[in-house]
């Protein structure tokens, strides 16, 4: 059974060139996966579409307010996303290899933290690969849970039928 469902990925990054490169890498790396990628230059634009599109994964830049100082930063957007839908996987992207930023990101609900370096695309690939596998496993577990419930209900009905027949059927006395 094909258990693949369309995965919606938001890229929230204020650098258009980086976004285009990241998008192209994801599309080529996951060419056999049903994915839809949406790009946003600001957290506010992401928030405006979030309820409508309901993405499963968000790749979120930590420093979103470098070009527009009044724009929301990555942590503020992360907090909003987690408040809106806690099951959304958020991967924080940043140019700083700073343990404090990583810890803040995890504390606010990010599932991964990737530093923009020479190995960024490979790290994003591994992160997305793992997230997609987790989502597939959760769907499969849910399917098996429904099958188990169905089997238990069938057994309960069968046992109930046997008990009802034994209670309400006439008793045969053989001499």
Q: How far apart are CA 74 and CA 70, in angstroms?
A: 13
Distances in Å between the Cα of 108 and the Cα atoms of 57, 70, 77 are 15, 21, 10
Burial degree of 42 (CB within 10 A; 0-12, 13-18, 19+):
buried
pLDDT at 172: 57
pLDDT at 98: 86
pLDDT at 166: 78
pLDDT at 171: 61
pLDDT at 66: 63
pLDDT at 7: 93
pLDDT at 125: 93
pLDDT at 161: 83
pLDDT at 134: 92
Tell me if residue 47 falls in helix, strand or coil. helix
Number of C-alpha atoms within 13 angstroms, CB side, residue 148?
A: 6
Distance of CA 21 to the CA centre of its chain: 22
pTM of full prediction above 0.75: yes
% pLDDT > 70, the chain: 91
DSSP 51-67: HHH--SEEEEES-TTSS
Q: What residues of the chain score a pLDDT lower than 50?
A: 1
pLDDT at 173: 60
Q: Which domains does the chain have, with CATH numbers?
A: 7-140 (3.40.50.2300)
pLDDT at 55: 96
Handedness of CA 112, 86, 58, 28 (dihedral sign): positive
């Amino acid at each position: 059974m094909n258990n693949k469902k369309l995965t919606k990925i938001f890229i929230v990054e204020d650098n258009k060139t980086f976004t285009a490169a990241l998008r192209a890498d994801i599309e080529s790396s996951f060419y056999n996966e049903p994915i839809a990628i949406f790009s946003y230059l600001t957290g506010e634009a992401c928030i405006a579409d979030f309820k409508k599109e309901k993405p499963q994964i968000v790749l979120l830049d930590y420093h979103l307010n470098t070009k527009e100082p009044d724009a929301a930063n990555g942590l503020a957007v992360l907090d909003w996303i987690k408040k809106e839908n806690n099951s959304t996987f958020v991967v924080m992207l940043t140019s700083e290899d700073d343990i404090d930023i990583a810890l803040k990101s995890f504390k606010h609900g990010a599932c991964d933290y990737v530093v923009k370096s020479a190995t960024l695309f490979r790290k994003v690939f591994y992160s997305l690969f793992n997230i997609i596998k987790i989502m597939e496993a959760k769907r499969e577990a849910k399917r098996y849970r429904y099958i188990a419930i169905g089997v238990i209900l069938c057994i309960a009905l069968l046992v109930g039928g046997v008990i009802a027949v034994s209670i309400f059927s006439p008793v045969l006395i053989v001499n």
